[in-house]
Structure 1
Amino acid sequence: MQMTNYCDHLFTDSTDGYIQILKFNDKNNNGERTIKIYNTRNGDLREIVEEFHENEDVFVSPNTMYIPKRRVENIRQFRALFQDMDFEKLGLHKSEVVYLVWILHYEGKIPKPTMVVDSGRGIHLYFRIQNAPYGALNTWQELQDYIYYQLKHLGADRKATDGARVLRLPGTTNSKNEGQCEILYIDNELEYSMYELREQYLNYKPKVHQMKIEESKKIDNKVITNRFFNSYSLHMERANDLNTLCKLRNYDMTGFRNMVIHCYAYWKGIYVRDSYELENVVLELNNAFTDPLKETEVQAILRCVPKAIDKFIAYEQGLRSGEKKRVSKGMRDKEGYWYKNETLIERLEITRDEQKHLKTIIGTDEKYDRNNEKRRSSRRDENGLTKREKDKLENIKLIKKLYEAGYKQVDIVKELGLSKGRVSQVIKEIKQQ
């Protein structure tokens, strides 16, 4: 059965978290469609979806959530990469698009899909992956954007590229044209590792080579990431920094509201591609301000985000495809919104004390302080001792042991190679105990 085959492909015994199912009901007397939402675990999933056999407009989330609320920030497991293909306006046929997708795979431009679904009007591609937690968000999003970028000319939908997306459930009907949603192809033997895909398709260096590059400081056109921030993870952490800054100021952001909402909407939009969900996330922050912006002002900011994100994806994925691009100020102005830390600190008037609570929006002085603290910490062992302090304690133990064994001071000096004064001082302290 279509539904069972779909569920078995994406959700196995290793599945953890909530899977969300949406059922759009018929229009009510006011001409509005209500939505029935089901949040279920893998064990009950198949029994629930079978009730919707041949029903209209049923959707399911390929990735799972740790709480029954479908948001990117609530993702528990990434189960697949996917892409929604809408090619009607391009004048292409489904069979033609599937053929072209396979050509792209044979040319080495995209992975081989593990499942292809006819959505009734378009095509859904799935690339099953070894389940990964929320911490892999930036890697998942980079790969998702890569696939979108490679398939953009075939009608790939950027709005369907966030981790909390829902897609039509096979075995149901698309009410827009009464077309059947059904599986066209499935390979249950194929499963990808995101990190292998990243090295193969995103031009990443293996970790060992990354560290060699860091040491030599010779940067070529390969994308480097390990413990450093790359463009995707930087955007995510900067959005978190803005949340932290607002909390530190008890959400009194008067004088800074436009800048905060502008940056937050863009940085969040790198991961939250659904315009309705992004609007909700941004409005939540705005409404938490002691003096919020008008909703019309927030909407005006949100209208600028999609174009900026398209430019960001084009630049980043072009870089990951091996294009040689220099990062200049002029280039950054054309490829999304980029702000230096100095600019953010100045415009938001972020103090040194506030910077201590932030991860990425920090000035040079705070950066030096953190580096110095890191160096100091690296010199200490698990007990907080430096090598010198540890050696000192060890020498005291050895002196005490030899002295209690009947060794004379001169013999202890000769045995341990320590100064006469040092040995004498320790023996004196032993006698006073």
Structure 2
Amino acid sequence: SRIFRLAGTTNSNSGEKVTVQYRHDYRYDLKTDIRDKYLPNLEKPKKKKGRPPKIVTLHNIRNLHYSRALDLIKLVKLRNYEVTGYRETMCFLYRYWQCCLLNDPKKALEDVLEFNSKFKNPLKEKEIITATRSAEKSWNARSSKKANEIAKDRGYLGAGYNYSNKRLIEDLDITSEEQKYLKTIIGTKEKYRRKNKKRREARRVDGMTKRERQKAEALEKLKETIRENPTASQRELAKLLNISPSYVNKLLKQIGNS
């Protein structure tokens, strides 16, 4: 047992002082005799090249610009190309997003002129160029270190226009019905509607009975109706859902217990 004790310490069992006994003159080398023979080889993890997080972020932003540009085209189509009162805003947004996507302001201008030409009452070319000039200017600012620093200090991701869906919906007066056909410019209610739809589809896949499915759908509809009408009474909710007040009361109890 003395082999595992430090020289100079006292053996608690015998009370004797521990000494070292040299059996030979060989001195072990920590690196060659112990580390290389007995310890596992620890390799340093290789550093990944590049900056993946930033690339992913840029990729996501690019997808967002692309999806929003498609939503604008879809919105114009939904309105049968009658967008008087929104033409300048739509063209401005389209030119900005095309600049971001293409990194080619000349092509972006050509695209917005073509976009405008599809309106029932298109703007004149000179009006388009003037009304959307700041879109290109803002796109150029994204390459400015100073502009990006100022934008970040103000709480933005960077220079350029960072519109929220709420702002776009308000500026373009996008209705709830129109949002159903858009990919990304949607409000909270439409977001919940799509999420609930997915849940209902998932439940069907899970093999719920018809009665269980109807009850689950009624619960989701009630929750959605309450979100849209937070001050509605049980009787009013029943009218909106076309069900009896007693059934509303039953569903509310289930929501409260969940």
Output the TM-score relative to the length of structure 2: 0.54
CA contact (8 A) 2:151 2:157 kept: no
Give the corresponding residue for 1:201.
Answer: 50
Identify the residue that residue 160 of structure 2 maps to in structure 1.
Answer: 336
The answer for the alignment partner of 1:270 in structure 2 is 100
Code of the aligned partner of 1:202: R
- Describe the superposition over 1:78-128 as per-residue Cα deviations: whole angstroms up to 9, x where unpaired: xxxxxxxxxxxxxxxxxxxxxxxxxxxxxxxxxxxxxxxxxxxxxxxxxxx
Give the deviation of 1:313 after TM superposition: 4.8
Structure 2 equivalent of residue 219 of structure 1: none
- The question of whether the paired residues in 2 share the 8 Å contact of 1:311 and 1:334 is answered with no
Aligned partner of residue 336 in structure 1, secondary structure:
coil
The corresponding residue for 1:282 is 112
Report the counterpart of residue 295 of structure 1 in structure 2.
125
Alignment partner of 1:240 out of 70, 78, 99: 70
Percent of aligned pairs with the same residue? 41
Contact 2:141 2:160 in 1 (8 A): yes
Q: Compute the displacement of 1:223 (Å).
A: 6.6
Q: Which amino acid is 2:52 matched to?
A: N
In structure 1, the gaps of 5 or more residues are 1-198, 205-221, 393-433
Structure 2 SS opposite 1:271: helix
Cα RMSD of the aligned pairs, angstroms, is 3.1
Quick check: 1:361 aligned with 2:185?
yes
Of the candidates 113, 131, 140, which is equivalent to residue 310 of structure 1? 140
1:327 is displaced (CA, Å) by 6.1
1:346 is aligned to: 170
Unaligned runs of 5+ in 2: 1-47, 213-258
Matched, 1:386 2:235: no
**How does 1:215-226 map onto structure 2 within 5 Å?**
none
Shift of 1:314: 5.4
Aligned positions of 1:136-147 closer than 5 A: none
Paired residue for 1:143? none
User: Which structure shows the higher strand fraction?
Assistant: 1
Identify, as 1 or 2, the structure richer in helix: 2
- Once the two structures are TM-superposed, the CA of residue 254 in structure 1 deviates from its matched residue by 0.4
Q: CA deviation at 1:340?
A: 1.3
1:361 counterpart SS class: coil
Q: Is the 8 A contact 1:251 1:289 kept in 2?
A: yes
Distance 2:176 2:191 in 1: 11
Native 8 Å contact 2:152 2:158 kept in 1: no
What SS does structure 1 have at the residue aligned with 2:102?
A: coil
Question: Size of the alignment, in residue pairs?
Answer: 161
CA distance in 2, matches of 1:291, 1:250: 11
Q: Residues of 1 paired with 2:130 and 2:151: CA distance?
A: 31
State the Cα distance separating 1:386 from its structure 2 match.
Answer: 2.6
CA distance in 1, matches of 2:192, 2:151: 27
Q: Structure 2 matches for 1:5-404, cutoff 5 A?
A: 200-204=49-53, 230-313=60-143, 330-332=154-156, 335-380=159-204, 385-389=205-209
Structure 1 Cα separation of the partners of residues 151 and 130 of structure 2: 31
